[in-house]
């Protein structure tokens, strides 16, 4: 029987790459992001049987959207094996004294409340199938990147939420993954909008890494995420791993 995976933030970047890799492995997909046209275009471009892919567009920090994501996956595919909590935003960039409270809280709504709300709704179905939740975290969860206080805080919270999932639900596997710098729009945003809003040397690190060609490809990161989602050992549940961790690359 084909496995079923929910991927949030699937309209571009790492999420779209996860959908592409999973689809090639015959996984049924429930794709979410706010941009409906981009999701439909991705679904078409994958060239698989349309009955294997379904799209629910909407903001993942909205409870009704999370209700619809899970209900649609169950209705269409009869169960859920993997949830990839990938949707995320970096904004606001700027030290705490320069950003608005609304923008700061909005970051936590998308990066933390989104994964919490979706996981909460999916958990009973994941337990039935001993499924897996992959929380897409960041090195920023454990490193203070100046100018990114909301983002860093949100990813640290996501890591602890991941540990909580592992502690409360031993039937499932919950893994938080740090992709490392990856060539997506989020990195373009850092390079283009970080100047003047992040300390100069902090911003320069991202410019230099890009210039030296050090960014990972979304495809390479996606292969690891899909491998973890489909075959992470239960003993790893609760862990925060990097994509080049040997225990992770051995699953490829």
Ligand X SMILES: NC(=O)c1ccc[n+]([C@@H]2O[C@H](COP(=O)([O-])OP(=O)(O)OC[C@H]3O[C@@H](n4cnc5c(N)ncnc54)[C@H](OP(=O)(O)O)[C@@H]3O)[C@@H](O)[C@H]2O)c1
Residues interacting with ligand X, by CB under 6 A?
Answer: 8-15, 32-35, 38, 59-61, 86-89, 110, 136, 138, 179, 181-182, 184-187
Nearest distance, CB of residue 189 and ligand X, angstroms: 7
Clarify whether 149 is annotated catalytic: no
Smaller CB distance to ligand X: residue 9 or 94? Answer: 9
Do residues 237 and 170 lie in contact, with contact meaning Cβ atoms separated by under 8 Å? yes
Clarify whether 3 is annotated catalytic: no
Distance between CA atoms of 9 and 179, rounded to whole angstroms? Answer: 15
Smaller CB distance to ligand X: residue 35 or 120? Answer: 35
Clarify whether 143 is annotated catalytic: no
Nearest distance, CB of residue 101 and ligand X, angstroms: 18
Q: Which of 139, 163, 164, 165 is nearest to 151 (CA)?
A: 139
Nearest distance, CB of residue 1 and ligand X, angstroms: 28
Nearest distance, CB of residue 72 and ligand X, angstroms: 15
Catalytic residue (one of 137, 138, 178, 237): 137
Token pair belonging to 91: 């904004």
Smaller CB distance to ligand X: residue 28 or 187? Answer: 187
Nearest distance, CB of residue 234 and ligand X, angstroms: 24
Token pair belonging to 98: 């320069």
Distance between CA atoms of 209 and 212, rounded to whole angstroms? Answer: 5
Q: Which of 189, 219, 176 is nearest to 92 (CA)?
A: 189
The H-assigned helical ranges of 25-100 are 36-45, 63-77
DSSP 174: E
Smaller CB distance to ligand X: residue 129 or 180? Answer: 180
Distance between CA atoms of 113 and 239, rounded to whole angstroms? Answer: 20
Helix (H) or strand (E) holding 206: helix 200-211
Smaller CB distance to ligand X: residue 87 or 99? Answer: 87
Active site residues: 137, 151, 155
């Amino acid at each position: 029987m084909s496995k079923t995976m929910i991927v949030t933030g699937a309209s571009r970047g790492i999420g779209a790459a996860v959908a592409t890799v999973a689809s090639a492995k015959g996984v049924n997909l429930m794709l979410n992001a706010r941009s409906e046209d981009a999701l439909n275009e991705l679904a078409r471009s994958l060239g698989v049987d349309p009955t294997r892919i379904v799209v629910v567009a909407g903001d993942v920090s909205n409870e009704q959207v999370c209700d619809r994501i899970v209900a649609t996956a169950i209705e269409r595919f009869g169960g859920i094996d993997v949830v990839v909590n990938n949707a995320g935003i970096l904004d606001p960039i700027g030290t705490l004294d320069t950003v608005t409270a609304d923008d700061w809280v909005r970051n936590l709504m998308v990066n933390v409340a989104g994964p919490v709300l979706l996981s909460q709704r999916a958990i009973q179905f994941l337990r039935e199938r001993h499924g897996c939740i992959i929380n897409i975290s960041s090195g920023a969860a454990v490193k203070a990147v100046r100018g990114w206080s909301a983002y860093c805080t949100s990813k640290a919270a996501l890591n602890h939420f991941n540990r909580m999932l592992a502690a409360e639900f031993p039937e499932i596997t919950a893994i938080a993954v740090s992709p490392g710098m990856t060539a997506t729009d989020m990195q373009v945003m850092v390079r283009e909008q970080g100047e003047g809003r992040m300390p100069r040397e902090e911003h320069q690190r991202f410019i230099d890494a890009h210039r030296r060609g050090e960014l990972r490809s979304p495809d390479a990161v996606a292969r690891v995420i899909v491998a973890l989602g489909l075959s992470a050992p239960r003993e790893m549940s609760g862990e925060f791993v990097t994509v080049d961790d040997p225990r992770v690359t051995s699953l490829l």
